[in-house]
């Protein structure tokens, strides 16, 4: 069971607060607290887990290609909700 354990403070914070706070309040907190590297890593982990879940259910759906962000406000653009 430990092989499936995932450690991501960002994803843990989001999963524990997503239903408690509207995204409009949650996003500024996340962006101001976590650095860009932490957000990029969390996004990649989430994308990989969704792909695995889709593959395990034999679902043909492909994830949309999300472009890399290059602007000066890159960190704000990383948030997917």
Angle 12-15-17 from CA coordinates, rounded to 5°: 105
Domain that holds residue 39: 34-56+75-81
The answer to whether residue 63 sits within a structural domain is no
The predicted-structure confidence for 35-62, as pLDDT tens digits, reads as follows 999 999 999 998 888 888 888 877 666 6
Quote the pLDDT of residue 52.
84
Please report the pLDDT score of residue 57 as a whole number: 78
How far is 42 from 28, CA to CA, in rounded Å? 16
Would you say residue 51 lies in a domain? Answer: yes
Query: Concatenated DSSP letters for 63-74?
Result: PPPPPPP-STTH
Is the pLDDT at 6 greater than 50? The verdict is: yes
- Residue 79 corresponds to which tokens in the numbers above? 């948030």
- What pLDDT is attached to residue 71? 58
Provide the domain count of the chain: 1
pLDDT tens figures, 12-31: 999 999 999 998 999 999 99
């Amino acid at each position: 069971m430990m092989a499936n354990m995932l450690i991501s403070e960002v994803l843990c914070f989001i999963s524990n607060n997503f239903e408690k706070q509207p995204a409009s309040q949650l996003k500024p907190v996340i962006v101001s607290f976590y650095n860009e590297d932490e957000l990029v890593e969390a996004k990649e982990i989430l994308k990989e887990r969704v792909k695995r879940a889709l593959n395990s259910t034999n679902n043909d759906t492909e994830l949309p290609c999300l472009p890399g962000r290059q602007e000066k406000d890159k960190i704000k653009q990383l948030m997917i909700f």
